[in-house]
Amino acid sequence: MFSLKNKVAVVTGASRGIGQAIAIKMAESGADIALIYAKNEKKANKVKSTIINMGQKAITYQCDVSDFDESKMLIYKIMQDFQTIDILVNNAGIVKDNLLFSMTNEDFNEVIKVNLNGTFNMIHHTYLNFVKKKNGRIINISSILGVCGSKGGANYAASKAGIIGLSKSVAKELAAFGVTCNVIAPGYIRTDMTNGLSDSSKEIFAKEIPLKKFGDADDIAAAAVFLASEESKYVTGEVLKVDGGLLM
Ligand SMILES: NC(=O)c1ccc[n+]([C@@H]2O[C@H](COP(=O)([O-])OP(=O)(O)OC[C@H]3O[C@@H](n4cnc5c(N)ncnc54)[C@H](O)[C@@H]3O)[C@@H](O)[C@H]2O)c1
């Protein structure tokens, strides 16, 4: 197992799904965790208790990552509580799917604001800490739909493609300071986000996947732990697909 001993990780969208799995797996690997949640304090506290019971430090913070000033204040508080940040995982994301002709301006902008601006905000407020340390790991959660596009989800695909462009740019800018920035592009993963799909849709999608099933949040968490570890120090600007072979 990769070690994250003595590291501090910030994970957004950490109260459930992929974010929760990443937070818990990073804690299992020895990291202390700043858990960022949008609304569900009860669920976030449950994740916090799980991590504290493992012997790691964990603190929850409520924050809308799409708000530039709120996320600035968030990073300030985390730095006060943990003194440093070693790993930043931008996982928070939303979907508001619709075909183009019925997609509103508001729905387009909101998805971009949370998924893309939220990722930018968190990186913007954290990168100086990484630069000063001459070390750091930034891991951004995109989607294979950001690579191949999405019929009925132009806003989501655009936001996730934007995350890839943003990440490669950050990787280039921060490489000189020993900071890596990578992307994980999940395929279909069993979480609340995909729970809304009908059983028949799930069956149709699964048939298209070479490994013939949806992935688990833990599959994404395992990739995140690798990208956060010392062993990935020569990997940057990469888009790691974790999709059962769907997009080859
Ligand atoms: N589940 C999948 O199949 C799949 C596939 C590809 C990519 N992803 C991506 O993985 C990430 C996690 O998704 P998930 O499947 O766990 O879904 P999820 O809906 O369970 O989790 C999303 C999390 O983001 C948080 N969030 C939303 N808006 C926020 C905001 N403004 N500020 C702070 N937090 C906010 C939510 O509260 C939630 O905890 C998302 O970025 C999603 O786009 C998921």
Can you give the pLDDT at residue 157?
Answer: 98
Give the atom of ligand 1 at the shortest distance from the alpha carbon of 189. 3
Q: What tokens appear for 187 in the block? A: 């395929």
Residues 6+ apart with CB under 8 A from 109: none
Q: What is the mean pLDDT of the chain?
A: 98
Q: Pick from 15, 16, 18 the residue to mutate for probing ligand 1's pocket: most ligand atoms within 8 Å of its CB.
A: 18
The 10s digit of each residue's pLDDT in 85-132 is 999 999 999 999 999 999 999 999 999 999 999 999 999 999 999 999
pLDDT interval class at 1 (50, 70, 90): confident
Distance between CA atoms of residues 198 and 144, nearest Å = 20
> What are the pLDDT digits (tens) for 49-96?
999 999 999 999 999 999 999 999 999 999 999 999 999 999 999 999
Fold for domain 8-242? Answer: Rossmann fold (3.40.50)
pLDDT number for residue 95 = 97
How far, in Å, is the centroid of ligand 1 from the Cα of 6?
27
Given this model, what pLDDT does residue 139 score? 99
Residues marked as catalytic: 156
pTM of the model: 0.98
Note the pLDDT tens digit of each residue in 6-15.
Answer: 999 999 999 9
